[in-house]
Structure 1
């Protein structure tokens, strides 16, 4: 039977509506947001701040699943292998930028096994030192004179605090403190207060209470000026050039994540990340809300991965 011109026009008009309706069928059950660190950790806090408004927007429960271990790599691998189209993950820098180099047997490929969704939040690190040490550029003069007699703490080999300090050493001639790894930032702080280590790169939320109490001294920020630490000057003010480093958390899905899911998340996430309420909650927990496009996230990962690869190679950093 011949198809009339009117029917062709109706079909053409209906097609995008049908496509849109099909796209809106995602999600059709609860969405799981997998975090590779325990409850109360900074990635976990970011996940829980986002879970409630995301659940309202998607009209489905958003469940935060904590799967800690191996610096977040267990959770990242779980997300990479998910095939249910309702599993997403929040990861940190290392899972996408340095784990592939540090873990030769890493069970996932950061470049191939994920769908980038958004860089969610960032924060600079604060270079803190013992309160008896001089400020600014005079600190680096004293550190050069001390050579390898001074130590710095981090939350472990391959952490952002460790790799960041090694990067800083490459930017400051004669700066050579020795790495001492700890289980977490509380242990780093305890060691500093006890005089076992002279310095560390730690997040503002951990650093500033100690600085404001006069127990530690802030030497500078690893980024430009930040509202997260308004009283701390950038390390550039102390003479450190070409150095910029932040900790961040990003939202991703497995490579198999469907197009309708990707498009829905992108559409709903943008206004959430611009919400004054969400931005304030994240700020109160030590995060600056960002909310990039998938392309913006991919560009950030690519740039930082190249920097981390170069420092790991140059310093011969290996996990024991």
Structure 2
């Protein structure tokens, strides 16, 4: 019995010894959250809210760094190639699952080059038209779009952006191709919509809610199964007559492959603590964003969800024939 106890103690000591001291002491300096888009966009809003909550749990500053470019893949590649020590993580949306189909020469593998922290939130999209648009509801917009395919303009924030994906789904749902107008981000696309320079834009509620409430754009439909308390007057697409047009833009947190499990566990715990905080809950509720249940705020849930989303979006994107080198 004594030999067994001694052997167990030695084994436990060996296990601890194999964990680097830096991992045991994590974090001993600020943690950086990389957002692969410009500041002020919907993903940036999500990341900054979560980062502020994580600071309390980690006892260290959590800095948000914006690294826009190439539809989000530039920032993702930066984190994939970072030191696997937990001090550099990524917050990215559904683009992590669409990038394999959109980019022929992707510099990272979403399923092999990252450790998973967990799912954060799901954000529905709003289908918007310019303030002076003649369509007052979704049925009128579909009729108008079919009659004006040569001049009906559909804005998006660039290849792979949430607005781009939503636009693809909308065109497939109504069986009509519109004139797409890509921008270098959501802000300029939304600005031109408000200025009556383009006709239609589909974007996340985290970005559009203030403009809808302020009357600067007209919302015709929501890509969610039910209405939002923050936008009670905006019908779902199904209510407006377009069944099956549902899309949620989910966000997840990732760390470089090889990040030690003790470090990853602390990141998971800190993210979950942030999402449980009243400040983050209230902020997300104001913007129509739904926080995932705790059971899905885990590495295993994110990995499973990412794989399913890659399988889902691949055929949609290939059918649309869009890609980038």
TM range (shorter): 0.7 to 0.9
* 2:28 corresponding residue in structure 1: 29
Q: Per the alignment, do residues 193 and 60 of structure 1 end up closer, same or farther by CA in structure 2, a change over 3 Å counting?
A: closer
Q: Per the alignment, do residues 249 and 147 of structure 1 end up closer, same or farther by CA in structure 2, a change over 3 Å counting?
A: same
Cα-to-partner distance string for 1:256-280 (whole Å, 9 max, x where unaligned): 1112122232234323312222212
Q: Per the alignment, do residues 18 and 51 of structure 1 end up closer, same or farther by CA in structure 2, a change over 3 Å counting?
A: farther
Normalising by structure 1, what TM-score? 0.85
* 2:108 corresponding residue in structure 1: 108
User: Which structure is larger by alpha-carbon Rg, 1 or 2?
Assistant: 1
Q: Tell me how far apart the structure 2 counterparts of residues 295 and 156 of structure 1 sit (CA, whole Å).
A: 30
* 1:187 corresponding residue in structure 2: 188
Q: Tell me how far apart the structure 2 counterparts of residues 64 and 92 of structure 1 sit (CA, whole Å).
A: 15
Corresponding residue pairs, total: 314
Deviation at 1:191, TM superposition (A): 3.0
* 1:126 corresponding residue in structure 2: 126
Question: Secondary structure at 2:239's aligned position in 1?
Answer: helix
Deviation at 1:88, TM superposition (A): 1.5
Q: Is the 8 A contact 2:229 2:288 kept in 1?
A: no
Cα-to-partner distance string for 1:223-268 (whole Å, 9 max, x where unaligned): 2223443321111112222232122321111111112122232234
Deviation at 1:284, TM superposition (A): 4.3
Q: Per the alignment, do residues 74 and 102 of structure 1 end up closer, same or farther by CA in structure 2, a change over 3 Å counting?
A: same
Q: Tell me how far apart the structure 1 counterparts of residues 224 and 46 of structure 2 sit (CA, whole Å).
A: 21
* 2:217 corresponding residue in structure 1: 216
Q: Per the alignment, do residues 144 and 76 of structure 1 end up closer, same or farther by CA in structure 2, a change over 3 Å counting?
A: same
Map residues 77-92 of structure 1 onto 2, 5 A cutoff.
Answer: 77-86=77-86, 87-92=88-93
Q: Per the alignment, do residues 89 and 189 of structure 1 end up closer, same or farther by CA in structure 2, a change over 3 Å counting?
A: closer
Q: Tell me how far apart the structure 2 counterparts of residues 211 and 155 of structure 1 sit (CA, whole Å).
A: 18
RMSD: 2.9
Of 1, 8, 16, the residue aligned with 2:4 is: 8
Structure 1 stretches of 4+ with a deviation exceeding 4 A read 13-24
Q: Tell me how far apart the structure 2 counterparts of residues 198 and 141 of structure 1 sit (CA, whole Å).
A: 14
Normalising by structure 2, what TM-score? 0.84
* 1:304 corresponding residue in structure 2: 309
Q: Per the alignment, do residues 66 and 215 of structure 1 end up closer, same or farther by CA in structure 2, a change over 3 Å counting?
A: closer
Cα-to-partner distance string for 1:28-60 (whole Å, 9 max, x where unaligned): 422332222233333333333222432332334
Q: Is the 8 A contact 1:204 1:229 kept in 2?
A: no
Question: Secondary structure at 1:250's aligned position in 2?
Answer: strand
User: Is there any run of 5+ residues in structure 2 with no aligned partner, and where?
Assistant: none
